[in-house]
Amino acid sequence: MDQQELRDLEARCIQEEPPRCQAACPIGLDARTLCAAVAAGDTSRAWAVLLRHMPLPGVLARICDHPCESQCLRNQAGDPIRIGALERAVAGVAATRARVLPMPKRAGKTAVLGSGLACLAVAWDLCAKGFAVTLLTGAKTLGGRLGEYPESLLPRAAVTAEIERLASLGVTFETGLDRGRLDPKRLLASFDAVCLGGDDPASSHLPPEAFDPETMAASEPGLFCCGIGMGGGAYSPIGAVAQGRKAALSIDRFLQKVSLTAGRAGQGRATRLYTNIEGVAALPALAMADPEAGYSSAEAAAEAARCLQCQCLECVKACPFLEHYKAYPKIYARQIYNNAAIVKGQHTANVLINSCMLCGLCTELCPEDFPMAATCLDARRDLVAKGKMPPSAHEFALMDMEFAQSEACFLARGAPLSPGEGKCRRLFFPGCQLSATKPEAVTAAYAALREIFPGEAGIMLSCCGAPARWAGREDLFDASMARLRSFWEDSGRPEIIAACPACLNMVEAGLPGAKATSLWEVLDHSDLSFPKRSSEAALAVHDPCTVRERTQVRESARRLLSRLGASCEELRFSGKRTKCCGFGGLLSEADPDLAATVGSRRAAESRADFVTYCAMCRDRLAKSGKRVLHLADLLFPGPDLDPAALPPVGVSRRRENRARLKRTVLREIFGQSPPEPGAGLILHLAPEVAAVLEKRRILEDDVRAVIAHAESSGKKFRHRQTGRFLACHGPANATFWVEYSPADDGFAVHNAYAHRMALKEGRS
Amino acid sequence: MSEIIAYGAPDADWVCAACDRPLAPAPATLTYLGSDFAVTLMRCPDCGLTLISEELALGKMLRVEKLLEDK
Amino acid sequence: MTVGILHGSAPRPYESGHMRRLLGPALRPGGLALTRQALALCRLPGGARVLDLGCGPGVSLGYLRQTAGCRAVGLDPSPVLLAEAAGLGPVLTGRAEALPFADGCLDAVLCECVLSLTRDKDAALLECARVLTPGGWLIISDVYRKDGPETAAPPASPPYPADGCLRGAEPLEEVFARLTRAGLCRSFFETRDKDIKELAARIVLSDGSLEAFWDSVSPGGSACGGGYSAPGRVGYYLLIAQKDAAR
């Protein structure tokens, strides 16, 4: 990511865009913060907001004609916030003697002709920056039309206080002057800049012929104006102030001899901020007990509490990862950029980069489609390329992928018993996770496919490489795809049928020439009959995040559920807005605690049992204790009476399942390998021994394999006293030990145990 | 020889059936999830068949496996 | 290895033969490989003046002098360990809180599994900052405490054998804050949890459990073990900081 890309990215996130009120205000008053302060009863903070933005706050806050209210988003849910009234309430109670710190004196003297609100604003802004200002007027009293307001609304004292403040900051006032003194051309000789005020009746006889509304500069250099077009009924206090502010900025630049026009944002820009008001109840504005006096403090607080506090955070509200880092995508983009730019990486940003589930929900919800997934994935690739990716981040997942592609688990075969050797028109790709957690579903689904496509369906047991892609390891992903491509080409470029939607996405990305479809679509379009679900209880459908863009797959899954007689409930975030279970992007590797939170929050979104059609989603949700079915549990029921209650499958059992699945498929479907070692051996187990094996989840087949190996190789131990044998065998990820002794027709088994740690070969 | 004596006393009750020899302590390497550990186990001095008892497998080894798997 | 002053004459844990053999010759997770990595990141010039703070039996000291070509000196309060280290380079007795060196005279300070053993960590870091030349390097590898409600705060008094480093393990935020207070700027950081898990695994393979290990090293030691029996709650890190060049 370079600087320009960062800026483009930051611009996509609208969270820092101003709320509508602020965007509509000609002086950019932060009415949102004002409302928060007033609602909290924090008058000094509220006053500070006014003081930060407003010239002569004691005056303007009382009489501002609030264009902000017309843009207030609340007007889509009731009445707009009465911002003007709130400001008036604050001005009434806040200390008016706020300190304005004088700036160091700057060169350049300005004359302001007129003492209306616009002119006073010019004087305010310029003297706050340290310029010398002299205000000249033909009137005897200062304030122009300010004197026309009723005392109850704009007390004379308030005007006087602001004028006194101006005087204390060095503004010189000359009142009651005759026309001769008010000649702009003469004044330009003795002042460096002159501003003509149009909103002071006593001075408005000298409007400039032409002026530039952007800079308020008139035709002659050094001559500016303000308060223009305020005559008759068109008087607007905020308009006057806005003109005054513009003129003051121009005069500032003019006196410093810099460009008047460079970098001046247009006024009244529409904001891009989006605020979701779904579910916000419409509320009317609070009534005033005494309209002439305005809101009391309590009334103001209640009215200010109606403020929506507009902000976006749509993505943060939906995603625990974005919420976890306590910021929002614009900030994250910069953190990610900085992480890459610094030579030695920052710990926090690495974990952030590795924690995005890459699921795309935020992009879907974002009004500007902020690409968080792409940003994080690019950052991961960048870390890998620079050798900065901490190996521990994805080590386990990559090892698991390697195992799934290893000799013990990998299998690629064309259709069994088909005339073309090794060819197939369809290739079943169940994926490494379904093989690991529900191998019986793989065999059942493959049988179904062979029924739908007789003589056409081959099978490939492997990993699609998703862990490599998510880890930013494109080298490993390419190697993974190359293997698939090679078999795909050799077997006649079959249509790939994937059980797991993640595999579908990977195949489409890595093998663009291939036609790929989902197992669920194939089953949906078939006329196989499936058992009807006995339970009446509704199931909440959890769409895996990988089907976000795959409408057909989602619809097929639902049609299958309907065909199974299952009644379904739609979660609020489903379909295109589905949420990740916590496995996406390898979050469960990078931050297991956060992944657990993601899983439990999702599980809590409905009381109903869930049903899903991704093996990882099923496992992650089960890990949080949720009752969850895999679609395969309903289509191809197994012996478990309550598959929704099955616990998640542990690390080593997954590997055993994959290895055993390969052997089972080879043996039972392709008849292509020697039978399970020890098949046919007769075992005698006392009930307590059988119970121990059951508890330790050691299958009799495992026991047979050990005994067969020990008897044929002679590698076994003998107990000195009992004469029993003890031997081991470890075909895959676990090593099994069996204590046994010969019996008449077979063997008596006394004990069995297993472990995952392996003895390294290569010693004597 | 490794400091880590992983075997226990009952291991001495087993002999190598093929070589009919008692076992002796010997260096071995246990590995799991990319971590290697130099330990001392009981082994047949002739053919090198190495014993891992139930006590070791379901005790220390299981604890270590969980420890290494846990993040 | 800076060990605080113990009550009575209880044996110092790191002098226990059993503990030493388990921890390995470098007496800490990661061993020399970690030292090598850290030095490579600093790219010290030949002949750089380096202090091995808490040098123990001197494995890093030997490496620094013989392989890395540094003018290295070792410091440790344990006379038993220093006696071994003396063969590998010049050594001094002393404590981290009061380093017997002049201001700004060292290019690097190596602080391996030492900070967590130090009584006054802020004082130790200030001392390190003092003796480092501007732009000098401080290399810290140590345990840290992972956050979590189940992590018990370390017990306050002996006989917990900690003047062992687990007791001094702190959350990372506190470590970082201490560095900032001492005027040291973090320039590299990496967690090395695998190293400490492997150490815990070695202890389990040898002694059966972490509690049994602590008991063998110091009688009753595991009674205060509490949350530290769960190695998942403790991590290990490598951190390299620099003294501000402007100072």
3-state SS of A714-743 is CCCEEECCCCCEEEEECCCCCEEEEEEEEC
Q: How far is residue C156's CA from residue A569's CA, in Å, rounded to a whole number?
A: 55
Asked if B69 reaches chain C (Cβ–Cβ under 8 Å), the answer is no
Determine how many CB atoms are found less than 10 A away from the CB of residue B56: 24
Helix ranges (H only) for A65-181 are: 68-71, 83-93, 117-128, 156-168
Q: In terms of C-beta density within 10 A (0-12 exposed, 13-18 middle, 19 or more buried), how is residue A151 classed?
A: exposed
* Residue A372 DSSP one-character state: H
Residue from A338, A344, A351, A396 to probe the interface with C (highest C Cβ count within 10 Å): A344
How far is Cα of residue A378 from the mean position of the Cα atoms in its chain?
Answer: 16
Q: Is there a single domain that holds both residue A113 and residue A244?
A: yes
Please tell me if residue B3 touches chain C, with a CB cutoff of 8 Å: yes
pLDDT number for residue A268: 55
Whether residue A328 sits in one domain with residue A366:
yes
* Alpha-carbon distances, residue A364 vs A237, A579, A652, B53 (angstroms): 43, 11, 37, 56
Q: At residue A678, does pLDDT exceed 80?
A: no
What percent of chain A has a predicted confidence (pLDDT) above 70?
A: 94
Phi, psi at A599, each rounded to 5°: -60, -45
In a domain, A412, yes or no: no
Searching chain A, which residue's CA lies closest to the CA of residue C205?
Answer: A757
First to last CA, chain B: 31
Q: For chain B, give the percent of residues with pLDDT over 90.
A: 58
For residues A83-110, b (16+ Cβ closer than 10 Å) or e, as one string?
A: bbbbbbbbbbebebeeeeeeeeeeebbb
Query: Which whole number is the average pLDDT over C142-163?
Result: 54
Return the pLDDT at C213.
Answer: 67
B/e letters for C56-71, b = 16+ CB within 10 Å, e = fewer, are bbbbbbbbbbeebebe
CA distance C147 to chain A (A): 11
Span of A26-30, A394-398, A658-662, C227-231 with lowest mean pLDDT: C227-231
What CATH number did the domain enclosing A44 receive?
1.10.1060.10
pLDDT tens by residue, A292-330: 999 999 999 999 999 999 999 999 999 999 999 999 999
Place of tokens 């804050």: C177
Query: Do A132 and A214 share a structural domain?
Result: yes
Q: Is residue A476 one of the residues assigned to a domain?
A: yes
Residues A153-166: what's their mean pLDDT?
92
- Kindly identify which residue of chain C lies nearest to residue A346, measuring between CA atoms: C189
Reading the block at residue A563, the tokens are 């065909």
Q: How far apart, in whole angstroms, are the C-alpha atoms of residue C125 and residue C140?
A: 10
Chain A hits for C188, CB-CB cut-off 8 Å, are: 344-345
pLDDT band at A138 (very low <50, low <70, confident <90, very high): confident
DSSP letter at A283 equals B
A651 to chain B: nearest residue by CA? B69
**CATH number for A474:** 3.40.50
Q: Which residues of C touch A347 (CB under 8 A)?
A: 172, 189-191
Of the candidates B13, B54, B62, the beta carbon closest to that of A721 is on B13
Q: What percent of chain A has pLDDT over 90?
A: 71
Amino acid in position C77? P
Mean pLDDT of C92-97: 88
Which of A340, A341, A335, A333 has its CA nearest to residue A389?
A: A340
Query: Rounded to whole angstroms, what are the CA distances from A399 to A404, A463, B32, C121?
Result: 9, 11, 11, 40
Mind listing the pLDDT tens digit for each residue in A528-583?
999 998 888 999 999 999 999 999 999 999 999 999 999 999 999 999 999 999 99
User: Best residue in C42, C191, C197, C242 to probe A by mutation, most A CBs within 10 Å?
Assistant: C191
- Do A306 and A324 lie in one domain? The reply is no
Q: How many structural domains is chain B composed of?
A: 1
Q: Is residue A402 part of a domain?
A: no
**Which of chain A's residues have a Cβ under 8 Å away from the Cβ of C194?**
392
Please judge whether A346 and C189 are an interchain contact, meaning their C-beta atoms are less than 8 angstroms apart.
yes
**Residues 6+ positions from C245 with CB-CB distance below 8 Å:** C134, C135
For A47, the enclosing helix (H) or strand (E) is: helix A43-53
The domain in which residue B56 lies consists of 5-70
Residue A417 domain-assigned? no
- Cβ-based contacts of B3 with chain C (< 8 Å): 18, 21-22, 206
One domain, residues A127 and A228:
yes
How far apart (Å, rounded) are the C-alpha atoms in residues A593 and A591?
A: 6
From its phi and psi, is residue A144 left (phi > 0), alpha (psi between -120 and 50) or beta? left
Q: Give A710-717's long-range contacts (Cβ < 8 A, gap of 24+).
A: A710/A738, A714/B17, A714/B18, A715/B18, A715/B47, A715/B49, A716/B17, A716/B18, A716/B49, A717/B14, A717/B15, A717/B16, A717/B17, A717/B23, A717/B49, A717/B51
Query: Are the beta carbons of A390 and C194 separated by less than 8 Å?
Result: no
Q: Is C136 helix (H, G, I), strand (E, B) or coil?
A: strand
Note the pTM of the prediction, 2 decimals. Answer: 0.73
Q: CA-CA distance, C161 to A653, in Å (whole number)?
A: 39
What CATH number should be reported for the domain holding residue B42? 3.10.20
Q: A23 is in which domain, residue-wise?
A: 18-99+302-311
pLDDT band at C211 (very low <50, low <70, confident <90, very high): confident
C-alpha count within 13 angstroms, C-beta hemisphere, residue C139? 23
Residues of B in CB contact (< 8 Å) with A are 13-18, 23, 26-34, 36, 47-52, 54, 57-58, 61-62, 64-65, 69, 71
DSSP A497-565: EESSHHHHHHHHHH-TTS-EEEHHHHHHHS----PPP---S-EEEE--GGGTT-HHHHHHHHHHHHHTT
Average of pLDDT values for A247-261?
Answer: 92
Work out the number of other CB atoms within 10 angstroms of the CB of residue A431.
Answer: 27
Is A615 found in the same domain as A518?
Answer: no
Residue A272 lies in a domain: no
CB-CB contact of A369 with A382 (8 Å): no
pLDDT digits (tens, 9 = 90+) for A162-221: 999 899 888 999 988 888 888 888 888 999 999 998 876 666 555 666 788 888 998 888
In this prediction, does ipTM exceed 0.85?
yes
Structure tokens at C19: 């503990």
Smallest CA–CA distance, residue A392 to chain C, in Å, is 8
Among C203, A758, A725, CA closest to B52: A758
The DSSP call for residue A669 is: I
Q: What is the mean pLDDT of residues C39-58?
A: 89
**Contact across the interface for B68 and C206, Cβ inside 8 Å:** no
Q: Do B30 and A757 touch (CB under 8 A)?
A: yes
Mean pLDDT of C146-159: 48
Only one residue has tokens 């400001």, namely: A87
Residue A307 and residue A355 in one domain: no
Q: Tell me whether A758 touches chain B (CB under 8 Å).
A: yes
Residues A215 and A117 in one domain: yes
Per the CB < 8 A criterion, the answer to whether A297 and A93 are in contact is yes
Q: Which residues contact C138 (CB under 8 A, 6 or more apart)?
A: C108, C109, C111, C125, C128, C129, C132, C184, C240, C241, C242, C243
CB C236 within 8 A of CB C29: yes
* Alpha-helix runs per DSSP H in C24-141: 31-42, 59-62, 79-85, 121-131
Cα gap C105→C111, rounded to integer Å: 17
Beta-carbon contacts below 8 Å between A and B: 83
CB < 8 Å to A758, chain B: 30-32
The confidence band for C1, taking pLDDT boundaries of 50, 70 and 90, is very low
- The strand pair at C234-243 and C132-145 is best described as antiparallel
Q: What pLDDT is stored for residue C8 in this prediction?
A: 33
Judge whether B50 is closer than 8 Å to chain C, CB to CB: no
Give the separation between CA C119 and CA C77, rounded to whole angstroms: 13
A622 and A701, same structural domain? Answer: no
Question: Do A508 and A543 share a structural domain?
Answer: no
Indicate the residue of A651, A652, A720 with minimum beta-carbon distance to B13: A720
Q: Say if the Cβ atoms of B52 and A714 lie within 8 Å.
A: no
- How many Cα atoms within 13 Å fall on the side-chain side of residue A314? 22
- State the total domains in chain A: 6
Q: Enumerate the residues of chain A whose CB falls inside 8 A of the CB of residue B30.
A: 757-760
Provide DSSP, A140-161: SSSSGGGGGS-TTTS-HHHHHH
CB pair distance less than 8 Å for B61 and A763? no
Residues A583 and A695 both lie in one domain: no
Question: Token pair for residue A134?
Answer: 């002299």
Average pLDDT over residues A240-244: 93
Q: What is the reported pLDDT for C209?
A: 79
Does A295 fall in a domain? no
CA distance A137 to A739: 111
- For residue A497, list its beta bridge partners: A428, A517
**Which tokens go with A61?**
């806050």
Neighbours of chain C (3+ CB pairs under 8 A): A, B
Residue B14 to residue B3: CA distance in whole angstroms: 23
Residue A447 belongs to some domain of the structure: yes
Sheet holding A193-197, edge to edge: A172-174, A132-136, A109-113, A193-197, A223-226, A217-218, A211-212
Sign of the alpha-carbon dihedral angle for A25, A27, A28, A31: negative
Asked if the Cβ–Cβ distance from A399 to B32 is below 8 Å, we say no
pLDDT at position C165 over 70: no
pLDDT tens sequence across A380-419: 999 999 887 877 778 889 988 999 999 889 999 988 876 6
- pLDDT exceeds cutoff 50 at C53: yes
Query: What value does the mean pLDDT of chain A take?
Result: 90
Residue A415 lies in a domain: no
Q: Choose the mutation target among A324, A347, A395 for the interface with C, i.e. most C CBs under 10 Å.
A: A347
Nearest residue, CB atoms, C198 vs list B5, B35, B61: B35
Specify whether A62 is located in the same domain as A147.
no
**How far is the CA of A404 from the CAs of A410, A435, C61, in angstroms?**
6, 9, 45
Chain C residues whose CB is inside 8 A of the B71 CB are: 232
Question: How far are the Cα atoms of A463, A499, A528, A580, A657 from residue A446, in angstroms, in the given order?
Answer: 17, 10, 13, 27, 16
